[in-house]
Amino acid sequence: MLKIIIILFMWCSVSEASEYFIVTYNVWFDYSTSEERVPKLLDAIEKPDVIAFQEVKRWFVNDLKRDGRFRNYNIVMKNGWNDSIRGGLLILTKSKILEQAYYDLPSTMGRGMLYSVINIDGTSVCIATSHLESMPEDTNIRIKQLKIIFEKTSSCNNLILLGDFNFGDGEPENEVIDSTYLDVWKTLKADKLGYTWDIKKNKLAEENSFPSEGSRRLDKIYVKGKHLMPVEIQIIGDIPFQSPAGKVLFPSDHFGLSAKFAIH
């Protein structure tokens, strides 16, 4: 009986809250296949409230601007040298942007964190995205990067942290993530592997993988704050297609993630 009451209470709480839809996607910087891939990638994104992209190049931003489905989004990004996008990071949001910043992280690859504060139905929510160091041996660098991200977002009462973290389940980096950060996939789908870097399914991931690297859950969404309740998460962009040249492609070498939150 107590279990039924708890479930009913949670259902009522969620039903009275507004729902928020977000996506994270590493779009792959390869320009040679972009003409075929990017339309499929954008089709996989179903007009969420917030989108965080990684490995963004200027040509990708131009493609977004030409697509009418994304004209009503506010853009958060930091320009770099020679018309580049700092850290390859881009956030699109339908909400009003209250604050935004870019922070460099210790890196040999020019990695950073892109940060914004938005207003959702009167609640201030921090959105932060990053693409951590890529090499398998870069564990210590990723740990340093995570600690700086946590420091820079420590004042956020409500935080959604998402992106390509470049470490999988069971790896040392997980030990520095404290219990106030909920891993949305593990919270909602602990019985599913959730590989977003799937070298068995995605030929692009197989071609770009390191020697002896296996499939891993590299792309993640974390949430912190009592006003944010994750209610749904799923993998997107995992359907292959055939290019005009007859090659089997995916929208990216990564799969994306979409999630829904109840905002109390």
pLDDT of residue 255: 98
Is residue 234 included in any domain, yes or no?
yes
DSSP notation for 88-107: G-EEEESSPEEEEEEEE-S-
| Residues in CB range of 150: below 8 A, 6 or more apart | 176, 178
6 pLDDT higher than 60:
no
Is residue 7 included in any domain, yes or no?
no
Domain tally, the chain: 1
Each residue's pLDDT tens digit, 168-179: 999 999 999 988
pLDDT of residue 122: 85
Task: For residue 217, count other CB atoms closer than 10 A to its CB.
Answer: 23
Is residue 5 included in any domain, yes or no?
no
Is residue 2 included in any domain, yes or no?
no
Each residue's pLDDT tens digit, 179-217: 899 999 999 999 999 999 999 999 999 999 999 899 999
| Cβ pair 105, 130 in contact under 8 A | yes
Question: Percentage of residues in the chain with pLDDT exceeding 90?
Answer: 84
Angle at 245 between CA 241 and CA 250, to 5 degrees: 25
Q: Which amino acid does the sequence have at 53?
A: F
Each residue's pLDDT tens digit, 77-101: 999 888 899 999 999 999 999 999 9
Domain with 95 in it: 19-263
pLDDT of residue 17: 64
Report field, pTM of the whole predicted structure over 0.85: yes
Is residue 13 included in any domain, yes or no?
no
Is residue 12 included in any domain, yes or no?
no
Q: What is the CATH number of the domain that holds 134?
A: 3.60.10.10
Give first-to-last CA distance, the chain, whole Å: 26
Is residue 202 included in any domain, yes or no?
yes
8 pLDDT higher than 80:
no
In which band, very low, low, confident or very high, does the pLDDT at 5 lie, cut at 50, 70 and 90? very low
Q: Which amino acid does the sequence have at 227?
A: H
